Amino acid sequence: MNRPSTVRYQYPKALSEIPLPIAQAGVLIDINSGFRTSRPVFDHEKCVGCMSCYAVCPEGTIYRGESGLQVDYDFCKGCGICAKECRFKAISMVPEEGENE
């Protein structure tokens, strides 16, 4: 039986080895579907612009705005991966209003 050839996964050593963007914006097709319980908020004083958060966001919702990195909250699902990834603790997950009360 012929099997497709496989390649052992090579963990990238630098951000430049990651094909970007990993995900196109709009993976979620409904705007703000309402299940997000917290949202990422950037501390622009701490951010060094390494773009690791952008690289790992599964929805492609992080982008460079005029005042630093921004999030398209219409499509951010609040997974928190970006905050977990940021080594500089520049992203905080803030509860959405009305949640956890």
> Which residue in 25, 50, 74, 96 binds ligand SF4 (CB under 6 A)?
50
Cα(44)–Cα(37) distance, rounded to whole angstroms?
23
* Token duo for residue 73: 């909250």
36 touches 97 (CB < 8 A): no
For residue 55, what is the DSSP state?
H
CA distance 61 to 53: 10
| Window contacting ligand SF4 (CB under 6 A); options: 5-13, 14-22, 77-85 | 77-85
25: contact with ligand SF4 by CB under 6 A: no
Q: Which of 25, 74, 81, 96 binds ligand SF4 (CB under 6 A)?
A: 81
- Interface positions with ligand SF4 (CB under 6 A): 40, 42, 47-53, 57, 59, 61-62, 69, 71, 76-82, 85-86, 88, 90-91
